[in-house]
Amino acid sequence: RYISTFRPSVKCEIEKSKAQWKTMGPAKVAVPSPKNFLKKHSKEPKLPARKKEQDGKKLPALSVPRRTDHPVMGIQSKKNFINTNAVAAITGLPKKPQPIYVDRRQGDKYLLETSGLVPKYIKKKDYGITPKYVTRRSEETKKAQKEYEAHVLEYLKKKAMKQLSDEERKSLLQGLKKNWEEVYREFQGLSVEIDTIPKKMYKEKLESQMKQLEHDIDVIEKHKVIYIANE
């Protein structure tokens, strides 16, 4: 078998290159001291150190006695509490019972004042009188309506418009209804079978006339005031 003459030299070079990377990092590493072990709550955030209060600032007066304070002893009152309470009970006004009501014979008790059964609102001085804001609002509405009517009249005068009277409006409405009845009578007289083009056209014409008359009648019935242009 063939063996290369450069085999020993190649093997030696490979061993040299491998020896340089046998360790990760420096050969000698400083070992931590066993005294510096991880303690409990050592990684938790700590509050900053409390600052000492300045000498110029004084503490507020305490409303609670101090621990070192002692109560004053030996003070006695000459007041006769038994007689005082008896006089207050005799001369005092008797306490009025609170009015209540029950929902049934053996039911629960409820306050009468908050139940709505006490007619306290009808005893007011201004009961039944129209509030001032309502009268003021109605007056403002009437004033606005008058101003609007005056503006409309002035506009109509400028545009040469006149208002239809009630009689003219009623006669116009009656005439429209009469025309609708005539067209409807003609529509009712059509043949049952509409098979020609002239018949279809005539039917469509009557339907459009009836629709227009119905629209005009509806408009006149809705609006009591109608203005027309002078010719």
Phi, psi of 188 (to 5 degrees): -70, -25
Type of residue found at 159:
K
- Tell me which residue has tokens 């304070």: 69
* 24, pLDDT greater than 80: no
* 132, pLDDT greater than 80: yes
Q: Are 216 and 176 contacting, i.e. CB atoms less than 8 angstroms apart? A: yes
The Cα 153–Cα 145 span in angstroms is: 12
Q: Are 227 and 161 contacting, i.e. CB atoms less than 8 angstroms apart? A: yes
The mean per-residue pLDDT over the stretch 182-210 comes to: 88
Q: What is the pTM of this model?
A: 0.33
Interior/surface letters 196-218, b for 16+ CB within 10 angstroms, e for the rest:
eeeeeeeeeebeebbeebeebbe
Confidence at residue 27, expressed as pLDDT on a 0 to 100 scale: 61
- The answer for 120, left when phi > 0, alpha when psi is -120 to 50, beta otherwise, is alpha
- Tell me which residue has tokens 């908050």: 114
Confidence at residue 56, expressed as pLDDT on a 0 to 100 scale: 58
Residue 140 — very low, low, confident or very high, per pLDDT cuts 50/70/90? very high
**CA 178 to centroid of chain Cα atoms:** 55
Question: When comparing pLDDT for 223 and 207, which is higher?
Answer: 207
Listed range (6-10, 15-19, 206-210) with the worst mean pLDDT: 15-19
- The answer for 128, left when phi > 0, alpha when psi is -120 to 50, beta otherwise, is left
* 55, pLDDT greater than 60: no
Written as six digits, the tokens of 203 are 């039917």
* 136, pLDDT greater than 90: yes
